[in-house]
Amino acid sequence: MAAECVIGVDLGGTKLLAGVLDDGLGVHHRVQRPVHGLGQRELLDTVVAAVEEARAAASAEVTAVGFGIPCLIDQRRGMALMAVNLALADVPFRDLMAERLGLPVEVDNDANCAALAEHRAGAAQGADDAVVLTIGTGIGGGLILGGEVYRGAIGAGAELGHMTIDLDGPPCQGNCPNHGCLETLASGTALAREGGRIAAERPDSQLGRALADGREITGALVTELAHDGDAAAVEALALIGRSLGVGIAALLNVFNPDVVVVGGGVIAAGDLLLEPARAEVAERALPPVREHARIVPAQFGVEAGMVGAGALAFAHARGTEVA
Could you read off the pLDDT tens digit of each residue along the chain, which spans 323 residues?
Answer: 557 899 999 998 889 999 999 988 899 999 999 998 899 999 999 999 999 999 999 989 999 999 999 888 888 888 999 888 888 999 999 999 999 999 999 999 999 999 999 999 999 999 999 999 999 989 999 999 999 999 888 777 899 999 999 999 999 988 899 999 999 999 999 999 999 999 999 999 999 999 999 999 999 999 999 999 999 999 999 999 999 999 999 999 999 999 999 998 899 999 999 999 999 999 999 999 999 999 999 999 889 999 999 999 998 777 666 65
- The superfamily in CATH containing domain 126-298 is ATPase, nucleotide binding domain (3.30.420.40)
Same fold, 4-115+303-318 and 126-298: yes
pTM of model > 0.85: yes
Q: What is the pLDDT of residue 1?
A: 54
Q: What is the pLDDT of residue 62?
A: 95
* Fold (CATH) for 4-115+303-318: Nucleotidyltransferase; domain 5 (3.30.420)
Domain ranges of the chain: 4-115+303-318, 126-298
Answer for the pair 259, 127: CB distance below 8 angstroms, yes or no.
Answer: yes
CA distance 316 to 231: 49
